[in-house]
Amino acid sequence: MTELNNFLSTETTPEIAKIFGAIEKASFILSKEVGYQGLGADILGADGGENSTGDAQQKLDVYADNVFERALRSSGVIAGWASEESEKFVTFEENKDAQYVIVIDPLDGSSNIDVNVSIGTIFGIYKRVSKVGAPVTLNDFLQKGSHMIAAGYVLYSVSTQMVLSTGHGLHVFTLEQWKKSYHRVLDHVHTPQDGKVYSINEVNFDDFDPKLKRFIQYCRDKKNEKGKRQYTGRYIGSLVSDFHRNLLKGGIYVYPATGEAPQGKLRLVYECIPMAYLISQASGYATNGVDDILKLQPTELHQKSPLYLGSKVMMDEVMKD
């Protein structure tokens, strides 16, 4: 089985490999603490603060943010970062000569932390558009997804896995805890063209637009050639976990606009674009209900966007007029 470091040494540049190396190191720490469920560091429960989108921060949100920031700073190859947990982007002064920046959701699925349900980390890497040697700028982070050069997520679940792409397909690695090393278990993953699963928080059904309501009814009703139900509903409430299951089984994930949240809940820069990049590397695609997520021009660091993402057949069906 190919080890992550060996894979990266042939797949990408030494700088990008170093960035993944930093993510890898931070994920060892997170994986261990998540596995201890509070027997180790003080990671359970609310922190008492709020992040810039007004979400209540959990202790593990803050802990993860610090662990990833430290690892990425010390990689020497990241000039700055924008984290879902901080209002502003940060220049890593000591790395101003570096060429890359990163956008990150250090801990995705906060509501699942205290109940031992799987959670994740989502990240995306861009080449900076500002001058190398100068501080990073907002435009470095507000790039279209079509300019993203690598992305990935770590899933802290029954096992810890890293799923990544550097633009040449999607690959899945599993962490061997005792050796602290990731090994490739799936190569060039393609999500099934049709799926089995639709994932959406249906509590908001009455608020959905007519097109989405019709699609959900279609999923509920659709029978296969044997007269059996074609689709089933599954929703964990951690984007990373819902994405991962649907990637492997085939399916669709939707976090749409609702009455309460006209732009949905998910963040375009930290969640929607990296996940859109990843699903597009696996033969699926992502939209905001109208347009291709990878073609959207972000205008604010913490802006939200509806997200429709998954297998081609289900996506085509939900997008139909």
Residues serving a catalytic function are 55, 61, 84-85, 105, 107-108, 271
- 69: contact with Mn ion by CB under 5 A: no
How far apart CA 126 and CA 290 sit, in angstroms, is 25
Least distance from C-beta 129 to ligand AHG, angstroms? 26
How far apart CA 159 and CA 68 sit, in angstroms, is 20
Among positions 11, 69, 108, 140, the unique one binding Mn ion when judged by CB under 5 A: 108
Least distance from C-beta 105 to Mn ion, angstroms? 4
Helices (H) and strands (E) in the chain, counts: 8, 15
**What sections of 110-209 are H helices per DSSP?**
138-141
47 binds, among ligand AHG, Mn ion, none (CB under 5 to 8 A by kind): none
- 201: contact with ligand AHG by CB under 6 A: yes
Of 160-168, 211-219, 236-244, 283-291, which segment contacts ligand AHG by CB under 6 A? 236-244
Closer by beta carbon to ligand AHG, 55 or else 114: 55
| Chain-centre distance for alpha carbon 51 | 18
Closer by beta carbon to Mn ion, 196 or else 304: 304
Across 25-47, b (16+ Cβ under 10 Å) vs e yields: bbbbbbbebbeeebeeeebbeeb
Least distance from C-beta 84 to Mn ion, angstroms? 5
Closer by beta carbon to ligand AHG, 17 or else 301: 301
Write the single-letter amino acid at 120.
G
How far apart CA 171 and CA 180 sit, in angstroms, is 18
Contact 303, 262 (CB under 8 A): no
Among positions 105, 123, 157, 296, the unique one binding ligand AHG when judged by CB under 6 A: 105
- 305: contact with ligand AHG by CB under 6 A: no
How far apart CA 280 and CA 144 sit, in angstroms, is 14
237 binds, among Mn ion, ligand AHG, none (CB under 5 to 8 A by kind): ligand AHG
Instruction: Give 279-311 as a DSSP string.
Output: HHTTT-EEESSSSBGGG----STT-B--EEEE-
Sign of CA dihedral 245, 30, 55, 143: negative
Closer by beta carbon to ligand AHG, 164 or else 239: 239
Of 90-98, 103-111, 142-150, 216-224, which segment contacts ligand AHG by CB under 6 A? 103-111
Of 83-91, 130-138, 208-216, 283-291, which segment contacts Mn ion by CB under 5 A? 83-91
Number of residues that bind ligand AHG (CB under 6 A): 11
- 109: contact with ligand AHG by CB under 6 A: yes
Of 21-29, 106-114, 182-190, 219-227, which segment contacts Mn ion by CB under 5 A? 106-114
Of 86-94, 145-153, 233-241, 290-298, which segment contacts ligand AHG by CB under 6 A? 233-241
How far apart CA 320 and CA 13 sit, in angstroms, is 40
Sign of CA dihedral 45, 82, 253, 184: negative
User: Which of 102, 290, 124, 160 minimizes the C-alpha distance to 212?
Assistant: 290
Least distance from C-beta 108 to ligand AHG, angstroms? 4
- Range 10-14, long-range pairs (CB < 8 A, 24+ positions): 11/166, 11/168, 12/150, 12/166
- 110: contact with ligand AHG by CB under 6 A: yes
- 237: contact with ligand AHG by CB under 6 A: yes
- 55: contact with ligand AHG by CB under 6 A: yes
* Site for ligand AHG, rule CB under 6 A: 55, 84, 105, 108-110, 201, 237-239, 265
